[in-house]
Amino acid sequence: MSDRLEVTVSNHPVRNRWEAITTNGDAAGYIEYASTEDVVVLEHVVVQPKYEGHGVGSTLVRQALDEVRAEGSRAVVPLCPFARTWITKHPEYIPLVYGEAAPAAD
């Protein structure tokens, strides 16, 4: 992976997506989601081609999961393959996934 790109991620509930904006104002990517009282469904992660490989997708997923965790009342359903794979590589987020158990302690 190349250098990590610094982006600001903001949730836009009216559009049902978290958006990543670069320091120069470019839209670098977004996560489309659906939500209910119980779950947030991560439907699709999109990164603009010129920003691929710079950590934008990872930053989007981490920010979305951190916001859901901070809210404390809903679980996540990662339909998007990128989000699902990212979570498996970061097991501290598995307890947020609907229907998943927390990893066993050693």
103 within a domain of the structure (yes/no): no
| 104 falls within a domain | no
The CATH number of the domain holding residue 30 is 3.40.630.30
Q: Could you say which DSSP state residue 15 is in? A: T
Counted domains in the chain: 1
The answer to whether residue 69 is domain-embedded is yes
CA distance 95 to 46: 24
* Residues 22-50 pLDDT 10s: 999 999 999 999 999 999 999 999 999 99
- Beta-bridge partner residues of 39: 75
How long, in residues, is the chain? 106
| Residue 65 domain boundaries | 7-96
| 12 in any annotated domain | yes
End-to-end Cα spacing for the chain: 32
| 74-84: pLDDT as tens digits | 999 999 999 99
pTM value > 0.85 = yes
Per the domain annotation, does 106 fall within a domain?
no
* Average pLDDT score, the chain: 92
